[in-house]
């Protein structure tokens, strides 16, 4: 007889770690403007903001994060959030992170900070600009990305797979997270998926369409 994983509110636990966080992130993502060219801000100013505002106290000097009962701060160097989601989370955090309103840290400073955090991603030996999106689509399926994120990258609250279509983080952050995910996602080592393959997958995700505006869909307004 077939038995599911332990239930968490009727969800399999092994796929629900951080689901609420993902949901919060998704909620912010869906409000975000599509930006296929990612603003990076001024990384030097961002480093200064990072230190000035006390981020290292919980997230470490390199944004590597600490997972202990006191801080529970995830790795943010780089962050897997889009810039819009990042700003939204800093303004309205979930969990133990304190809120940083705009009078404490401006949107401009946050843009710089975001750029600094993404610059902490390790160097990647591939360039999505010259990648093959068609091959990426094939890899997206064969490497099992669709299992949690959906075949269009639309995400799933049940699996915990966040929305990644269209992708809204820089390629280097994308690769860094896949290699060492801080939450529930299983890690993909370079042995399993090369940087070049990830570039193709990334290129495929860039081609995914935005949400059809809900207001234009009568079925979603009932």
Q: Could you say which residues in the range 83-142 bind another protein, by CB under 8 A?
A: 94-96, 142
Nearer to another protein by Cβ, of 38 and 143: the residue is 143
Kindly state whether residue 189 participates in binding another protein, applying the rule CB under 8 A.
yes
Contact 173, 83 (CB under 8 A): no
Handedness of CA 202, 146, 34, 82 (dihedral sign): negative
Question: Which listed range, 56-64, 119-127, 128-136, 184-192, lies at the site for another protein (CB under 8 A)?
Answer: 184-192
Return the residues of window 57-86 that contact another protein according to CB under 8 A.
67, 69, 72
State the alpha helices, DSSP H only, in 103-194: 107-119, 133-142, 145-149, 171-179
Q: Residue from 155, 171, 202, 204 that binds another protein (CB under 8 A)?
A: 155
Q: CA-CA distance, 1 to 35, in Å (whole number)?
A: 47
Nearer to another protein by Cβ, of 17 and 47: the residue is 17
Kindly state whether residue 17 participates in binding another protein, applying the rule CB under 8 A.
yes
Which residues, 6 or more positions from 80, have their beta carbon under 8 angstroms from its beta carbon? 162, 169, 173, 174, 177, 182
Kindly state whether residue 175 participates in binding another protein, applying the rule CB under 8 A.
no
Q: Residue from 39, 54, 108, 144 that binds another protein (CB under 8 A)?
A: 144
Which residues, 6 or more positions from 60, have their beta carbon under 8 angstroms from its beta carbon? 66, 73, 75, 77
Count of C-beta atoms within a 10 Å radius of residue 68: 7
Q: Residue from 9, 36, 37, 129 that binds another protein (CB under 8 A)?
A: 9
Question: Which listed range, 21-29, 33-41, 78-86, 124-132, lies at the site for another protein (CB under 8 A)?
Answer: 21-29
Minimum Å gap between C-beta 127 and another protein is 23
And the tokens for 58?
Answer: 């919980």
Kindly state whether residue 163 participates in binding another protein, applying the rule CB under 8 A.
yes
């Amino acid at each position: 007889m077939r038995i599911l994983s332990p239930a968490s509110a009727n969800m399999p636990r092994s796929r629900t770690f951080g689901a609420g966080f993902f949901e919060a992130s998704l909620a912010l993502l869906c409000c975000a403007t599509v930006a296929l060219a990612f603003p990076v801000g001024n990384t030097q100013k961002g480093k200064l903001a990072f230190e000035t505002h006390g981020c290292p106290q919980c997230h470490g000097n390199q944004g590597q994060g600490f997972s202990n009962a006191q801080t529970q701060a995830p790795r943010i160097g780089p962050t897997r959030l889009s810039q819009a989601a990042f700003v939204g989370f800093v303004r309205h955090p979930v969990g133990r992170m304190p809120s940083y309103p705009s009078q404490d840290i401006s949107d401009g400073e946050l843009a710089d900070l975001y750029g600094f955090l993404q610059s902490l991603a390790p160097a990647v030996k591939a360039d999505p600009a010259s990648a093959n999106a068609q091959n990426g689509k094939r890899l997206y399926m064969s490497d099992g990305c669709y299992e949690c994120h959906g075949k269009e990258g639309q995400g799933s609250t049940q699996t915990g797979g966040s929305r990644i279509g269209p992708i809204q983080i820089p390629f280097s952050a994308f690769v860094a997270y896949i290699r060492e995910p801080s939450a529930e996602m299983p890690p993909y080592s370079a042995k399993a998926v090369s940087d070049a393959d990830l570039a193709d997958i990334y290129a495929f995700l860039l081609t995914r369409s935005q949400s059809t505006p809900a207001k234009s869909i009568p079925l979603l307004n009932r």
